[in-house]
Amino acid sequence: MSTHFPADSHAHAAERSAQLPQTPASTSHTQRSSCSLSPLEQVNLIGQLADLKETVYRQSLLISALTEVLIDHKMITQDELAQTAHRIDHECEYD
């Protein structure tokens, strides 16, 4: 359902928005502004996130390489790896 308002002055638009019910979504902006980050803090946070993503990528690459070497040297089978991963995942769910 769409409500159409004819073009009018900013005063009328402000009156309409004042009549709208306040929902968590419409009030969240004012709540967020009290703890907002400065532009420099935002850039710093973005840099930290990029560093974290790079670390996760390198760790995943290393795990993949180690797994491949272990399988190639017949130290572990793909089935053993899958079973071990499933067991560890199951243990983590219930700890």
In a domain, 74, yes or no: yes
Residues 52-92: tens digit of each pLDDT: 999 999 999 999 999 999 999 999 999 999 999 999 999 99
Alpha carbon separation from 89 to 2, 22, 68, 76, 78 (Å, rounded):
48, 43, 20, 18, 16
Least reliable range by pLDDT among 18-27, 41-50, 72-81: 18-27
Quote the domain boundaries for residue 47. 36-95
DSSP assignment string, 14-52:
HHHHHHSPP-HHHHHHHHHHTTPPPHHHHHHHHHHHHHH
User: Is residue 25 pLDDT above 70, yes or no?
Assistant: no
User: Is residue 12 pLDDT above 50, yes or no?
Assistant: no
Estimate the share of the chain in helix, then strand, then coil, as percent rounded to the nearest 5.
Answer: 75, 0, 25
**What is the signed CA dihedral for 55, 58, 60, 62, rounded to 10 degrees?**
-140
In a domain, 15, yes or no: no
Number of domains, the chain: 1
